[in-house]
Amino acid sequence: MSTLLAKLGLYTYEGYLKKFEEWVQRGITSSVPHSQALVEYTKLNWTRTQRIHKTILITPELKTAVEKIKHYYTWILLTEAWCGDSAQNLPVIAEIAKLNTDKIKLFILLRDENPELMDRYLTNGARAIPKLIAIDETLGKEAFVWGPRPLPAQQMLNNWKTAPGGKNWEDFERELHGWYTKDRSVTLQAEFLEIFKQLELQAKTI
């Protein structure tokens, strides 16, 4: 099964983490060219990923909602190891999926290896990641799409693009990751709780 997934370009989350660690050890990243900047971001994101897995606390409300889902889902998440937003959000999404592995199967796809799929899920015309595409296997249709970041973080980016106020990208990025640190995935979890509530309502009407 793992060989078949690899041929399709899919990683299980565990497989993705192994590749992530390998890229860090080899001093490369998940896409080419392996610029020094992207390699450094990848190293930083590996540290972020490990920290989040060690410290995350899933709310009881979200845990209950995930455990109650009735349909079967395939989650496909487009990402790259150098993406800072992915390092902040993907570990949380993975922890959510782990709460109900019978009903949720999470797979990772690299964005730059899958441009045609990525281009179906652009954000304001950009290939922004991470992007989660959830397929309801019970009904055979797309259930929801999430990403590339929680709504307040997306609004921060939109505001900066509209009125940078003298901040360059590095300044804005520090501010964005400061928000993630203070938020501690509370907003992301709230967004997913709302998604699961909507899925439960939809399941009741079928």
Per-residue pLDDT for 154 more than 80? yes
**Do 157 and 27 meet the contact criterion of CB atoms below 8 Å apart?**
no
Structure confidence at residue 4 (pLDDT):
44
Task: Write the pLDDT tens digit of every residue in 34-57.
Answer: 899 999 999 999 999 999 999 999
CATH number (3.30.1330.200, 3.40.50.300, 3.40.30.10, 3.40.1380.10) of 2-205 reads: 3.40.30.10
Q: Per-residue pLDDT averaged across 57-73, rounded?
A: 96
Residue 2's pLDDT is 47
Which structure tokens are listed for 93?
Answer: 């999404």
pLDDT class for 194, splitting at 50, 70, 90? Answer: very high
Q: Write out pLDDT tens, residues 88-130.
A: 999 999 999 999 999 999 999 999 999 999 999 999 999 999 9
What long-range pairs does 40-47 form, CB within 8 A, spacing at least 24? 41/82, 41/83, 41/84, 42/81, 42/82, 44/84, 44/87, 45/81, 45/82, 45/83, 45/84, 45/86, 45/87, 46/20, 46/21, 46/81, 46/87
pLDDT mean across residues, the chain: 94
Position 200 scores a pLDDT of 83
Instruction: Name 73's bridge partners.
Output: 104, 136
